Amino acid sequence: MASSPAPDLRRAALWAGLAWLTCCVVLIWLAHGRFSTLAFRDPDDAMRLVQVRDWLAGQFFFDVSQHRVNPPHGGPMHWSRIVDMPIAGLILFLRPLLGAASAELIACIAVPLLLLGGLVTAFFIAARRIAGDAVGLVGVVLLLTSPSILVQFAPLRIDHHGWQILLAGVALMGAFDQRPARGGVIAALALATWLQISSEALPYAALFAGLFALRHWIDRAQAPRFIAFAVTLGLAAAALLALLRGPGALLATQCDALSYAYVWPLLALAVIAALAGRLIGLDTARRRLIVAALAGGAAVATFLMTGGPCLSGDPFAALGPVAYRLWYLKVMEGRPIWAQDLAMRGAILLPALTGLAGALVAAWRASGVARARWATLALLIVGATLVAMLVMRALSVAHLFALPGIAWLIVLLFRRAQAAPSAIIRVLGSAALILLSPAGLSAAWIALASHHPAEDKSAAADCRAQSILARLDRLPPATLFAPIDMGPDILLRTRHSVIATAHHRNVAGLTEVIRAFVADPQQARSIVAGSGATYLVGCDSLTELRSYARENPEGLAAMVRQGRAPDWLEPLPGKGPLRVWRIRRAGS
């Protein structure tokens, strides 16, 4: 289909740009009611802005810990300054012109939409290289109407998930670059950057490395792509780690982020790929296989030496049994497909499988280089779908990789429908193709598979609202013993500190808060008193407290939800769902 008549590149690019602008307008309109109060939908977005504020207020570049979490120790974090940079840059630029509040608002609106523009650009180039302008344009429309992707680029969605999808799109673009060495460098730089943001890039780095190694073995012309990828990935990952975390990060082991455990295997891959390619040569398939095997084997062997505790494959095992069971296992976006309900399983799989089917049919109908492109895409879809089956939030990348296959299928069937002699078939057949879009597939499946109404979370969302938390800001600055899901917004909207937020490196604070809320009131007293907090905070309908109350119906959380409290908590006057108690020390 790449040879089918299609708009010229300039016109196609213009239409893609107009589609992005239209999507931006729609997203801004849908979210405008949350702008006046910076009402972030996810606590992680609030925490991101707190981190940016702290940096702009003078916190050291390499220090991304939260000093108002679990004082005086602080809450360790693993977030990357890469995500902070554009937000901070826009705030610094706009603050003298508009003031701090307006500068923050515009930055939080603009940055996700600009990242979406980058994704549209990278994806359009990749899809056009795979199958031409028509598929590229249809793919852009599918991208801009895919809920699993758009949700990460909505205004105020400033956390790192949009960055991950964007960098996956750039890697996809590199995989189909007609100049193999340049494509390998582009894909490697994207993945090296992604690795600085999240260790969730590791399986994709392995996926692209394995795919490029396979192509390098089969086709001598693809050898430069693999060698360039391997060398660039290792060197760029190490250089960025030293620049963004400090040189000491190259020797520090952290299983939840790029560190000593992972960067040295990548460097081994780079060094051995370059040396073996030079010394053994790339002239025959046998030699190329040996080069790839040596490079991959060196990476695996190095990881066995550097991996240490990371060899378990579960960086969250360090949480301990309380936080792991009562917090981590309830964060469904991080769980595998078999832990999801039927509706979510279909939402994960159907778009990916449809894109895979389209890619396989296209490969079967094509020949030569075009068939190789579609086969490459099919392997990427399979790999990304396997990752999404293990971690639900990875479905966005799987759906992104599936879009060219879905777009090709829609273009093929649309042309078939338009060639039908019957006007009814032409109209209805064309209209029915909307069901093949990710939005159509997911909506149809959820409508069929959902048997229970969605849980109403509006009351829980109110607990994080500025109007609710304003009451806390009238108290003198203190440390609050608050539910972890409220923590980031308390930090953002008040001068207070908290014991914990929903971020896994603060194991001590997380465990302390969870243990106290599920404990019987008298057991909870010693935990809360030992935390050094001055006030305890609850909110009537907060989902988190409801979960703790189910764990122990006689526990502290169950009492707090009902507005009751043991005698060691002194209630402070106030109306609304927010409840605040002063913590009475023993003997007072």
Q: What is the pLDDT of residue 461?
A: 46
| Contact (CB, 8 A) for 408 and 359 | yes
Cα–Cα distance, 502 to 546 (Å, whole number): 16
Dump pLDDT digits (tens) for 472-485: 999 999 999 999 99
Q: What is the pLDDT of residue 214?
A: 97
Dump pLDDT digits (tens) for 87-106: 999 999 999 999 999 999 99
- Residue 315: pLDDT band (50, 70, 90) is confident
Radius of gyration in angstroms for the set of CA atoms belonging to the chain, rounded to a whole number: 26
Within a 13 Å sphere around the CA of 106, how many CA atoms are in the beta-carbon half? 14
pLDDT at 393 over 80: yes
Task: Identify the bridge partners of residue 579 per DSSP, sorted by sequence position.
Answer: 538
Q: Which domains does the chain have, with CATH numbers?
A: 177-319 (no CATH), 458-583 (3.40.50)
The answer for residues whose C-beta is within 8 angstroms of residue 556's C-beta and 6 or more apart is 516, 517, 518, 519, 520, 521, 524, 548, 566
Query: What HEC string does 488-502 produce?
Result: HHHHHHCCCEECCCC
Q: What is the pLDDT of residue 431?
A: 84
pLDDT at 462 over 80: no
Region 370-390 average pLDDT: 97
pLDDT at 4 over 50: no
Picking from 169, 228, 173, 229, the residue whose alpha carbon sits closest to that of residue 194 is: 169
Tracing tokens 């570049």 back to the chain, one arrives at 61
Query: What HEC string does 95-123 produce?
Result: HHHHCHHHHHHHHHHHHHHHHHHHHHHHH
Minimum mean pLDDT among 70-79, 142-151, 428-437: which range? 428-437
pLDDT averaged over every residue in the chain: 93
pLDDT at 157 over 50: yes
Picking from 458, 450, 453, the residue whose alpha carbon sits closest to that of residue 543 is: 458
| Contact (CB, 8 A) for 501 and 487 | yes
Dump pLDDT digits (tens) for 5-48: 445 778 888 999 999 999 999 999 999 999 999 999 999 999 99
Region 368-379 average pLDDT: 96
- Residue 588: pLDDT band (50, 70, 90) is low
Tally of CB atoms within 10 A around 284: 11
Dump pLDDT digits (tens) for 323-349: 999 999 999 999 999 999 999 999 999
- Type of residue at 471: R
Region 204-220 average pLDDT: 97
- 386, burial (CB in 10 Å: exposed 0-12, middle 13-18, buried 19+): middle
Picking from 209, 201, 211, 106, the residue whose alpha carbon sits closest to that of residue 161 is: 201
pLDDT at 382 over 70: yes
pTM: 0.95
